[in-house]
Chain A
Amino acid sequence: GENVEQHPSTLSVQEGDSAVIKCTYSDSASNYFPWYKQELGKGPQLIIDIRSNVGEKKDQRIAVTLNKTAKHFSLHITETQPEDSAVYFCAASWDSGGYQKVTFGIGTKLQVIP
């Protein structure tokens, strides 16, 4: 089955600095890579995603890159703000008999220090 490794497990940055979270996956059948943000006391919420036929995607201060050959994908947050503090999950997803199965990473707790 698919295995997703996520690093680091915790990350502290100064407000205004950039944050990078990295993930690797094992199964080349994975073709969709979402990132979820979980704020304290809430459920995860999709913030950005990328498909296997795209190398990079950007949405304002967040961007995701994908290296299919190396099976790596990363989340980049620029100009971090205190409201970016949360737990971030990467995931790898693939089609299995009409259902999109997904495996999540263990999560990265990001702290943005004002």
Chain B
Amino acid sequence: EAQVTQNPRYLITVTGKKLTVTCSQNMNHEYMSWYRQDPGLGLRQIYYSMNVEVTDKGDVPEGYKVSRKEKRNFPLILESPSPNQTSLYFCASSFAETQYFGPGTRLLVL
């Protein structure tokens, strides 16, 4: 089954404790992205990647890092999480204009 998977689905952490959210797709898509979803703000892009080793900032990249060492994986790294990064996070892979979203990761930073 063609899909985008994210882990973990739920995460509670404390301020400053580094964390990684993994994302993997099995559709051989070149493009992958990370979004955060907040009430009243919709979906905002954090980072995107056009291919292996090619990444670029989206609209809200501060406090986040990404890497793309393999085509199928695109992890999101929070080196020092803060409470304002509490949010619902989505990974997506895309073919042409169509985006395929993962199931989401709900993060709470205390």
Chain B contacts of A43 at CB under 8 A? 4, 90, 92, 101-104
Interface of A is mostly: strand
Are B98 and A34 closer than 8 Å at their CB atoms?
yes
B96 proximity list for chain A (CB < 8 A): 100
- A-chain residues with CB within 8 Å of residue B59 when the two chains form the complex: 1, 103
Q: Tell me the bound Cα distance from A112 to B21 in angstroms.
A: 34
A102 touches B45 (CB 8 A): yes
Question: Which residues of B pack against A, CB within 8 Å?
Answer: 4, 31, 40-45, 48, 50, 56, 59, 90, 92, 94, 96-104
- On whether the beta carbons of A100 and B101 are closer than 8 Å, the reply is no
A interface residues (Cβ-Cβ under 8 A, vs B): 1, 6, 9, 32, 34, 36, 41-46, 49, 89, 93, 98-100, 102-107
Q: How far is the CB of A26 from chain B (nearest CB, A)?
A: 15
